[in-house]
Amino acid sequence: MSWHPQYRSSKFRHVYGKAASKDKCYDCVPITCNVHDNHFCAVNPSFIAVVTECAGGGAFLVIPIKQTGKLDPHYPRVCGHKGNVLDIKWNPFNDFVIASCSEDATVKIWDIPNQLLKRNITTPKKELLGHARRVGLIEWHPTADNILFSSGYDYKIMIWNLDVKDAVISQPVKILDAHKDVVLSMSFNTDGSLLATACRDRKIRVIDPRAGRVLQEGSYKSHRVNKVLFLGNMKKLFSTGTSGWNNRQIALWDQNDLSVPLLEEDLDGSSGLLFPIYDSDTHMLYVVGKGDGNIRYYEISPEKPYLNFLMEYRSHSPQKGIGTMPKRGLDVAACEIFRFYKLIPTKSLIEPISMIVPRRSESYQEDIYPLTAAAQPALTAQEWLNGINKGPLLVSLRPGSEAMNSVPQFLEPEPLVKATDISQKQGGGGRMLLEDKQERREIKDGRKWLKVEEKLPKNEQMCLSNGFGIFECPPPKTENELLQMYYRQQEEIRRLRELVIQRDVQIKQLELELRNLCMDTGNH
């Protein structure tokens, strides 16, 4: 009988949650008392936006991300809605544009100024009029610029093209009329070609948004779905809901067969909603409970058991909503792989919670920071509407690296493999004291050669395998694997060239010291 180890080998097995100190929190924030099941918070590297209480109409606050501490009670608001604000979302490609939807049946697009707000913002950049009843959900398209989806209590999902000059848009480019009840959740796959929805009629649907066609539809008698989420491009859906006994429940589905879940698990008997949040870079899934202080996190694998429980962050302060920071706003020096912003209305507090991988080294940890989605769109709105699909542009989180936005990269479903990356690359060099101008010139020449090498086409680049023999490294099977291997090889070449330059400099320094030593002994 074969022996199976109790624990899986995973670099994220010891991830822990760390709450920010009081001075790094946002205090005295009048968080909304609305009972709508949404996050009520949106975050980007520049601002944090939170829906707030407001007498007469609806409003939300936009606070600079670095402005922590107590909030001025007279701090300006964004207040142009005539009813309560139900959802807010930042444009993924513009940190100064935010969309909001409300009980007044409108969707509004707002421009946020770069400097600190001095007065209330009441005039939106654009206003979208099309829904007959209140609008409960909005979602930006993940790869196409200026495409917005909205869902209302008229059971319709509307697709808006914001690439028009009109300040008031009353005609959406497409109306999805496939639901017979209120849509509770919307989620895109990685390239935005498919939309998954959870509806109050207990059904999960996978929809082609441009054709308006329902590709898959399913429900399961023992699972009342509330929220649904695409797990990147792994061909799977994750949903949260309740069981027949009103226990909180999670389920995993094959996106091509929604008749029976691949996995179903009861969590607890609490009544609060569960918000699922997926990080496609690390394949980690976070389940945030509304009304309690817990955040459970799992690792997703393509084979059984699919869902591997890692740990649970616990807190005594219940959260009403949650915001998440995009990857480009994380602190990579602290090995932070995710950051939540927890809304605690009982304390009028927004508390950041960092998910950290414990590492001893202070250098950049490439194995936990793969290429991630950049802040540039891969498509224009019209290109997407014409039927073109492209995955998000990818960027490295390495400090000082430039966004690789010139290469549209298609993200394919990729299996989770053990880390074969080279461990802790050495940084490209601290400053060295040189006594000779010739050595400085050699370093500059070496750096120039590096820049020239980066500009060469792919077929002229040198091929290395990150320390593996050519035959030991399995050939890439997808375009994404090929691109990732290409960028790893470029990093390896750059590292080796800088090491060679450093060694040459050290040799010359030793030669100079020997020469000086010989001269000193000769004089004596």
**Tokens found for residue 361:** 């080294």
Q: In what order do the strands lie in the sheet with 274-279?
A: 274-279, 284-289, 295-300, 307-313
pLDDT tens, residue by residue, 206-241:
999 999 999 999 888 889 999 999 998 889 999 999
Q: Does residue 429 carry a pLDDT above 60?
A: no
Average pLDDT, stretch 8-37? 90
For the ranges 43-47, 251-255, 362-366, the lowest mean pLDDT is seen at 362-366
* Token pair in block for residue 327: 């990857």
The 10 Å Cβ neighbour count of residue 521 is 8
pTM: 0.76
Strand, helix or coil for residue 21:
coil
List CB contacts of 523: < 8 A, sequence separation 6 or more: none
The whole-number pLDDT of residue 449 equals: 42
The pLDDT value recorded for residue 124 is: 94
DSSP symbol at 290: T
Q: Is residue 431 predicted with pLDDT exceeding 50? A: no
Query: pLDDT class for 474, splitting at 50, 70, 90?
Result: low
The pLDDT value given to residue 491: 79
Q: Whose CA is closest to 193, among 386, 415, 371? A: 386
Give the CA-trace dihedral at 335, 411, 138, 65, to 10 degrees: 20
Q: What's the one-letter identity of residue 98? A: I
At a CB cut-off of 8 Å and minimum separation 6, what does 155 contact? 177, 179, 180, 181, 182, 183
pLDDT band at 523 (very low <50, low <70, confident <90, very high): low
What superfamily would CATH give domain 16-372? YVTN repeat-like/Quinoprotein amine dehydrogenase (2.130.10.10)
Determine the average pLDDT of the residues in 280-287.
95
Mean pLDDT of the chain: 83
**Digit-coded pLDDT (tens) for 140-157:** 999 999 999 999 999 999
Binned at pLDDT 50, 70 and 90, residue 7 comes out as low
Residue 355 half-sphere exposure toward CB, CA atoms < 13 A: 28
- Cα–Cα distances in angstroms (integers) from residue 447 to residues 65, 167, 397, in the given order: 36, 50, 21
pLDDT exceeds cutoff 70 at 38? yes
Question: C-alpha dihedral over 375, 327, 207, 171, to 10 degrees?
Answer: -40
Per-residue pLDDT tens digits for 158-175? 999 999 989 999 999 999
How much of the chain, in percent, has pLDDT values that exceed 70?
83
Cα-Cα-Cα-Cα dihedral sign, residues 328, 330, 331, 336: negative
- Position 327 scores a pLDDT of 94
d(Cα 352, Cα 283) in Å, to the nearest integer? 22
Please tell me the predicted confidence (pLDDT) of residue 473: 54
